[in-house]
Amino acid sequence: MTFLASVLRGINMINRTVGSVFAWLSVAIVIVCFWVVVERYIFSSTRLWMQDLYVWLNGAMFTTVAGFALLREDHVRVDIFYRPATARAKAIADLIGTTVFLLPFTIVVFVYSLEFVRRSWRYAENSANIGGMPDLYILKSFILVFAVLVGIQGVAMAIRSVLVLAGRGDLVPAPYRFEPRTE
């Protein structure tokens, strides 16, 4: 059980680190978007690659922070039933939801996106817009990153549930236990 707790802590650390780093892209998105507007309305010019850039940064940010959001339990769920449930009921719900829905979803996304991303890399795909951003294949690779980060966080959720159901909830790191959230 301590091995599972170590895996849980490791996965949480990965998603916490990636999420904390990539969340800063939101600042870059605002700056680039602001500059595009300034160029268009004050200088009456525009650079298409800059318009592509803030959309691409947005895509990169949201795909990489999805696992972090799952770690923080920021995804939508039916809280009317989940919030008042016991730790055991939450663990059962999470274990079923993770194994039946979340992990198969991430596997499907990864498998079906793999050839899509490979093809993009083979062609060294760029923006479809003339004068747009180069290297679109890098952005498309974030689909695989999304599937991996959400998938491993799903594994962490399943491990947390197993630890709670085995009576070893004490091995779950404090901020990620099944306790009422205070906000």
**How far is 86 from 77, CA to CA, in rounded Å?**
16
**How far is 46 from 173, CA to CA, in rounded Å?**
49
Q: pLDDT for 69-128, tens place per residue?
A: 999 888 777 677 777 888 888 899 999 999 999 999 999 999 999 999 999 999 999 888
The residues spanned by each domain of the chain are 2-172
Provide the 3-class DSSP secondary structure of residue 72: coil
Q: pLDDT for 8-48, tens place per residue?
A: 889 999 999 999 999 999 999 999 999 999 999 999 988 88
Nearest 5°: the CA angle 141, 145, 150 is 150
